[in-house]
Chains A and B, each alone.
Chain A
Amino acid sequence: MRRGYFYLFGFLLLMGFDTLAQVSFKYAGTQALPVSASLAWLLRVFGQPWVYGAVIGYIGAFFTWMTLLKHAPIGPAFAASHLEVVSVMLLSVWLFDEHLTTPRVLGAIAIIAGIVCLGLAESREHVPETDSAPA
């Protein structure tokens, strides 16, 4: 049971870091508009704090992912590492006044179903390793 909580906490932490990164990317990009392949754009990107939120999110996600992979089965870990699309979509409604249009909801359902299939496929391929993985 303790192992279950460990995984759940790990997956939620991974999702949290990924979500932080994506939201930070959006803020950083919006504040650096207009986009251009120029030094001025780079200076605008790195001249405000949000870009560093993205860096923290990336680094946090990387170490959480590496720790999870050592202990958790790869299939669920793979799926969890990509399910931040759900949290990011919901947050973007709240933070950026975006709309959950029909194509976005339908597309998200298909993508999530696909990610679950891929996670299941990984689980099947790595059965021996996951069985012997210590917690």
Chain B
Amino acid sequence: MPAPTTAITHLVAGLWLFNVLIDTGGQLAFKAAAGDPDAGDGLARWKHMASRPWLWLGVGCYAIEFLVWIAFLSLIPLSEGVLLGSINIVAIMVAGRFLFGEKLTRLRVAGIVLVTLGVAIVGLGG
């Protein structure tokens, strides 16, 4: 692979970071939409969700993420891209811990550390 120019590297890093943020934002929005205890059941639940911003915020995040991910993958090898994208798993677990008080068991922490380590190896080593 030819050495990428600095501008491209910055663009790749920026797109990667933006993708993590917007993916996490979208998942949290869907969680907020789906977890609303007043929502009811069946069709009424969907109507309730559709009348509130959370569902649409989630859809909007995913639409933007779709484009960001295409741009990101067009600049780096696909095998590297999917590995770097695994950081989204870590981000959503950490966000769940802080926002919804979800427990981080020892096994979860081990998983988070391993995925982060793997992403770091790929990101630094190429």
Residues of A within 8 A of B (CB): 22-23, 25-26, 28-30, 32-33, 35, 41-42, 45, 51, 54, 58, 82, 84-85, 88-89, 92-93, 96, 98-104, 106-118, 120-121, 124-125
Contacts and interface: CB of A to CB of B under 8 A. Distances in A.
Interface of B: 1, 11, 66-67, 69-75, 77-83, 86, 89, 93, 105, 107-108, 110-122, 124-126
Given A104-B122, A107-B121, A121-B105, A33 B74 contact: yes
B73 A124 contact: no
Contacts of B110: 114, 117
A93 B79 contact: yes
Contacts, number: 138
Which DSSP category, helix, strand, loop or mixed, fits chain A's interface? Answer: helix
The 4 closest A-B pairs by CB, nearest first: A103-B125, A29-B74, A114-B114, A110-B118
Given A33-B74, A45-B70, A115 B89 contact: yes
A46 B105 CA distance: 43
A65 to B, nearest CB: 13
Contacts of A58: 66
